[in-house]
Amino acid sequence: MHATEHRQRTPDQILGPYFPVPRGAFTGTDLTRIEGGDGQAQGEIIEIAGRIINLDGEPVRGARLTIWQANSFGRYRHPNDRNVAPLDPNFVGCTRIRSNDDGSYVVKTIKPGAYSVSPDWMRPPHIHFEVQGRCERLVTQMYFPGEPLNERDRLLAAALRPDLLVAAEAELQKTPRRVLTFDIVLVRG
């Protein structure tokens, strides 16, 4: 780590709601299509790219990532989600992958919709991450830049460093779709 750099661990967030049920887990990097299906998930297709690193900036190789989210209508594909928003038959909404040797990961998905938690609380679009490194586990959420609901979200506001939970727009767009960068920092990896 350079003397001028000061990394901070990515803040914890709650595990819920709706941690993926084991039989529904997908193990690919493209959540916009279901294997064997002929349709595509509804909503804005995005790509999330990032690295899992430790506080010294070293890559965390082979970290297990479980990623889950609501569909573009704000509904999770989970038996306990009683949201009346429609399910998307072409969207599973979760996957399990591993980081590469350089700590990197890439997932193609859709931007999740916002959803109501209570009459006075609307969750902004967000994606859940559970990261299991060699030495530690982190459960967190990634939020989207420029979302008006971010400012009023109780969970984001409760984080020690909310800014570390908001993805960045990728500087070099290599695809026609929106690309977001979300690096996750563990203490030791």
Q: Is 66 exposed, middle or buried (0-12, 13-18, 19+ CB in 10 A)?
A: middle
Residue 116's SS3 state is strand
Nearest Cα to Cα of residue 28 among 44, 18, 41: 41
Residue 25 CB contacts under 8 Å (≥ 6 apart), including other chains: 66, 94, 95, 96
Q: How far is it, in rounded angstroms, from Cα 136 to Cα 162? A: 21
Q: How far is it, in rounded angstroms, from Cα 170 to Cα 143? A: 14
Q: How far is it, in rounded angstroms, from Cα 66 to Cα 132? A: 9
Residues with catalytic annotation? Answer: 76, 115, 123, 126, 128
Residue with tokens 């970290």, as numbered in its chain? 63
